[in-house]
Amino acid sequence: MQRPWYRQFWPWFLIVLPMCAVAASLYTFYLASSGADSMVVDDYYKKGRAYNKDLTELKRAAELKILATLSYQDGVVTIKLDGAHNPREGIRVNFTHPTLEKQDHNLVMTTDAAGVYRERLDSPLIDGAWHLQIEAIDGNWRIQKRITLPIADSLLINAGS
């Protein structure tokens, strides 16, 4: 006498394979819908038009021969600027991570008595690649560079490079 179908291997094997595919597709749908892609820009036209303004600011920094010396030790960002800029003006410093938007840091810094910009971060910068952007508070000039942390001692950032 033959065993009933539910006690045989092959019917269950044939049922389990499609069930695994359904479970995997539901999990894939959950992953795709649970988070938005932060790299996609909604106002791409406005960003494209602003690109020309960015080039003007970079050229202005090259004309002023601005040179920044950056150091990052124990959660403190220190920047020394040289060149034909106003030494008393504030600057905006943006550390932008290529993939982790929540790790980005946007700082507004002013000089101390020695003319050095110094700020302690609330949360430390993680090691790896970063896009650094330093600009005048009025938007007159801008320098930027792709950097890799940690920095051994200090890093020179030259306008126009």
Query: How do residues 89-137 score in pLDDT, each as one tens digit?
Result: 899 999 999 888 888 999 999 988 888 999 999 899 999 999 999 999 9
Query: How do residues 12-60 score in pLDDT, each as one tens digit?
Result: 999 999 999 999 999 999 988 887 666 666 666 666 666 556 678 888 8
User: ∠ CA(121), CA(86), CA(89), 5° rounding?
Assistant: 40
Contacts of 146 (CB under 8 A, 6+ apart): 129, 130, 131, 132
What fold characterizes domain 66-158? Immunoglobulin-like (2.60.40)
Q: What is the CA radius of gyration of the chain?
A: 26
DSSP code, position 101: G
Contacts of 126 (CB under 8 A, 6+ apart): 97, 100, 103, 149
Report the Cα–Cα distance between both ends of the chain, in Å, rounded.
84
Residue 155 C-beta-side C-alpha neighbours within 13 Å: 17
Contacts of 149 (CB under 8 A, 6+ apart): 72, 125, 126, 127, 128, 130
Q: What pLDDT score was predicted for residue 83?
A: 86
